[in-house]
A and B are shown apart, each in its own frame.
Chain A
Amino acid sequence: MKNVLLLIGGVPNSSAGATLSGETSYLGALLHDHVGGFELSVVSLGFARDVAVVSRNIVLDRSRLSLVDRALHAMGARALYARLATFPLGRLINSIGPLDQGRVFWRHVRRDSSALAALKNADVVVAADLAAVKTAWIAAKRGWCTHAEYDTRAYGLGISFAVKDAD
């Protein structure tokens, strides 16, 4: 039995990263090809859907902030982040700063023992958005998982909208 962990680092948005996604979903193919052959867990900041295939749904507590996050909030960094997010160069600056969604998500995962344990026990980690990539990449580089995949189509888990095949 394989452990597959789906990471959702931001707010689900079907258009985000759509140009990078392939015709088929990696997770969708896993679901289709290995029915009952693995356990699927989800770590997110709030994955509201109740999906039958998900055996464990770990929702990270947004209010449990790390020391870094508390300091950043106290300094008003969030307001600056929101301001910078309104123009392209600002978004570029945001992406290399401490409030980048990927870094924030990793800090949340690190502080949640069950999420961290799920990450360390996963055989395959699937990042459903860019915000989840850093965490998946760390898992791959540290040898916690055998494979880490970027799969924006994993958001839907094949249930969001039934698209029939051409034939």
Chain B
Amino acid sequence: MVSEENRPHLLYVAWAFPPARNAGMYRALATANAFVRDGWKVTVLTATEDTYERLTGSDPETVNSIDPRITVIRIPFDPERGDTNIGSWSRLRVFSSLLWNASRWLVSLAQFPELAYGSWRKPLEDAAEHINASSPVDLVIGTANPNVDFAPANYLNRRYGTPFVIDHRDAWHLNVYSGKRVGERWHRSNRLERSLLARCTEAWFVNEPIKKWHASEYPHAANKFHVVANGYDTSFVGGSNAMRPKNSPLVFGYLGTIYGPIPLREALEGWALARAREPQLADANLVFRGRLGHFAEADQEAANLLKSFEDQNVSYGGPVSKTQVSNTYKDFDALLLVISRSKYVTSGKVFEYASTGLPIAALHDPVTAATGILEGYPSVHPAVEVNAEAFSKAIESAAIAAANSTPKSRGDARAWAAHLERDAQLSPRIAALREVIGSGRR
């Protein structure tokens, strides 16, 4: 048994932490919780709660999922941005909001090579210094983006030699959608990343293609690179669905952010085609749940598109708190996995979908990284290309599977998906880091 004093102290830095509603928040929450369960003293350094209300929207119920043993230190993030009281706006901001923004971005860039977030570096470093002075930090993990989350790790490592881990949810210099490099190799941000990767204890990536890209770009550090896939959180999903009574209409579901790059129109047209052809789908419903777009304001284009398919039994049920995700899946008989094309994008929902054991119509380009995650899943029905016809065939196949599914077939699928559980991804890394920190202490 490790005594309170001997517990290794992890400083975990994440801009997005509950009650943020960003997709990246779930990884941060799960990682912090996993470390504290493993017996670490965990301090999370994050933004104040109002930050998310102002900028990206929040999911207040998720705060209840933070392990109470975690110390959460919140520091303000750019309070001016998002201030809606016009009376307090400066003359410059009213004269030209672009000029005002540009001037702030220049100041921000001078502090850290990342637009819009750089000004957070100093407050983060001051907070890290304070935390380290009160209780020496044994390990820092920064999770990005934003990449300014790496600043405390950089600071404590340079000043005190504190080991650190770089956790990339996306990538700093790889556009995961286009596959192209972002910025020049000589650029300041690239030099900083190279230096961070050279000094870090480990660097984590969400899938093998992103890890490989980094290994080819930064071969000097490649032996420290690991894949820590997103996985699903058993605290939010994983319950079994009750079987729908025979002959009652099937309900297909989509749960996730509904936004520009996903082939939404093709999916809806494919649905309409499938309903016309497959008798199982004649009375079936398709329910979309999740945010319309990434920002607090709903994406009207996506909203209008969904509305235009209302006569095809398509409905939009609004966003879902993460705490309600499990219940939401219980309403569905089959799932549509609609994601954008990229060999670097896995998406978080693919793991959640697999955890349900339901038939999945995979409506995305086969090149997408999610294809590999579902390889071997007993009831995946992939489209061979991105168009309404191919999507329709996948949906028809999933409909037949849904109509014929049994508690056993769903149970088998859930059992297959057990290896995708988030803790299964994190545990080996936590054990390895404990070993590294332990040997350092000895």
A-side interface residues toward B, CB under 8 Å? 14-15, 17-23, 26, 91-92, 95-96, 100, 102, 125, 127, 130, 133-134, 136-137, 140-141, 147-153, 156, 160-161, 163-167
Write out, one digit per residue, whether chain B residues 34-65 have a CB within 8 A of any chain A CB (1) or not (0): 00000000000000000001111110000000
Q: Name B100's closest neighbour in chain A (CB-CB).
A: A95
| A92 in contact with B102 given A100-B96, A137-B89 (CB within 8 Å) | yes
- 17 A-B pairs besides A15-B293, A167-B324 with CB distance below 8 A are A17-B297, A19-B295, A21-B295, A21-B296, A21-B297, A22-B84, A95-B99, A100-B96, A133-B89, A137-B87, A148-B86, A148-B87, A150-B86, A153-B296, A163-B298, A163-B318, A163-B319
A133 to B97, CA, bound (A): 10
In the complex the two chains form, is A14's CB within 8 Å of B297's CB? Answer: yes
A148 to B87, CA, bound (A): 6
Q: Name B86's closest neighbour in chain A (CB-CB).
A: A148
| A149 in contact with B84 given A23-B57, A23-B58 (CB within 8 Å) | yes
A140 to B53, CA, bound (A): 24
In the complex the two chains form, is B53's CB within 8 Å of A134's CB? Answer: no
In the complex the two chains form, is B295's CB within 8 Å of A149's CB? Answer: no
B-side interface residues toward A, CB under 8 Å? 53-58, 81-82, 84-87, 89, 94-99, 102, 292-293, 295-301, 303, 307, 317-321, 324
The 5 closest A-B pairs by CB, nearest first: A18-B297, A164-B318, A18-B295, A148-B86, A14-B300
Minimum C-beta distance from A113 to chain B (A): 23
Minimum C-beta distance from B243 to chain A (A): 25
Return chain B residues, CB-CB under 8 Å to A147: 85, 87
27 contacts between A and B (CB under 8 A): A14-B297, A14-B299, A14-B300, A15-B300, A17-B297, A18-B296, A18-B297, A19-B56, A21-B295, A22-B53, A22-B82, A26-B84, A95-B96, A95-B99, A102-B94, A125-B86, A130-B97, A133-B86, A133-B89, A140-B86, A141-B87, A150-B84, A153-B296, A156-B298, A163-B318, A164-B318, A167-B324
Minimum C-beta distance from A110 to chain B (A): 16
Return chain B residues, CB-CB under 8 Å to A96: 95-96, 99
In the complex the two chains form, is A153's CB within 8 Å of B297's CB? Answer: yes
Q: For chain A, what secondary structure do more than half of its interface residues adopt (helix, strand, loop), or is it mixed?
A: mixed
A26 to B84, CA, bound (A): 9
Q: Name B87's closest neighbour in chain A (CB-CB).
A: A140
Q: Name A94's closest neighbour in chain B (CB-CB).
A: B98
In the complex the two chains form, is B82's CB within 8 Å of A133's CB? Answer: no
